[in-house]
Amino acid sequence: MIKKAASIHDLSGVGRCSLTVIIPVLSVMGVEVCPVPTAILSTHTGGFGEVEMRDLTDYTLPALSHYKRLGMEFDCIYSGFLASVEQVDHCLEFFRTYPSAFKVVDPVMADNGKPYRTCGEELRRRMKDLAAAADVITPNTTEAAMLLGLDPGYMPSSHSDVKSMLSRLSSIGPKTVVITSVYTGTECYNAGYDSVTGKYWLVPFNRVSANYPGTGDIFAAVLTGALLDGDPLPLAMNRASAFLEYSIKTTYAMGTPTREGICFEKCLGFLSEDRSLYDYEVL
Ligand code: PXL
């Protein structure tokens, strides 16, 4: 059976983030994406100047009502970039309506130590309520620090710092926590914690000297697809990290402007291959 994922994210026309990467990634992994757009933007907000944006806050709940009238079921509810504080409540309403769905929250708020300009203080505060109701959250290090009430620029400097962040985030509510893009001086890795098994995991990756928007969206989408397919957490993290390393290195070699995002289109075949992965470590 093909699983259905209600995917609550923005649709940005240019720059390869949110729905424009989530839909192809999950589709190639055999998941049906049912988009619930939170906003429409001409481009993402990271490098194209003033964007045209339409907030779709008045759309989310009516769409949910329609799905309820239809008796529509979803296997997964997956949220990301939200355009308003009200949309936190709308996502929570989706969660309440589908209690047995697998709930993934990518708490899109910030990167590189700085909040996105569309994400105000109240939304940043309420994102914690949404994270609390999730099964899995996928913050980057900046978002992880913000969810824990730390300075957004905080960067953990040892494995024990990272493990402490992971377990404190899990105690907010989610059973599984993955922190992406941890850089501790010499190491780069994605770190995960499964509170059911009590195990911590690390997947190292090779960094290039460029930062592409949409990286976190691709990571969370591959992780979601892999977990829905039954992968254990370290293999799901491994699949997401390996796909990003492959597609980022392909993009870097092409030399395209970073604001255009990761040129992942010709790399998508990687996700439909049944290759074995073994690059994870115990954290
Ligand atoms: O990739 C996160 C993201 C999602 N959606 C929009 C963004 C960004 C990051 O800049 O601007 C609209």
Euclidean distance between CA atoms 267 and 102, whole angstroms: 27
pLDDT of residue 184: 83
Q: What is the extent of the structural domain holding 272?
A: 3-282
Distances (CA, A) of 238 to 145, 146, 195, 233: 23, 25, 18, 8
Q: What is the per-residue pLDDT for 262?
A: 98
Checking if the pLDDT of 275 tops 80, the result is: no
Number of domains in the chain: 1
Kindly list the distances between the CA atom of residue 118 and the CA atoms of 140, 142, 244, 251, in Å, as whole numbers in the listed order: 17, 16, 26, 27
Instruction: Return the closest-CA partner of residue 35 out of 2, 80, 92.
Output: 80
Any idea what the CATH number is for the domain that residue 65 is in? 3.40.1190.20
Cβ proximity of 32 and 2 under 8 Å: yes
Kindly report the pTM of this predicted structure: 0.97
Q: State the Cα–Cα distance between residues 9 and 142, nearest whole angstrom.
A: 19
Of 112-116, 198-202, 221-225, give the lowest mean pLDDT range.
112-116
- Provide mean pLDDT across the span 125-133: 98
Structure tokens at 139: 């913050």
- Residues in contact with ligand 1 by the CB-under-6-Å rule are 10, 12, 17-18, 41, 44-46, 81, 108, 116, 213-214, 216-217
Q: What is the pLDDT of residues 143-189, one digit of tens each?
A: 999 999 999 999 999 999 999 999 999 999 999 999 999 998 789 99
**CA diameter of the chain:** 54
Among 10, 11, 51, 53, the mutation site with the greatest number of ligand 1 atoms within 8 A of its Cβ is 10
For position 186, what pLDDT does the model report?
Answer: 86
pLDDT of 278 over the 90 cut: no
What pLDDT, on the 0 to 100 scale, is given for residue 209?
Answer: 86
Q: Which amino acid is at 150?
A: L
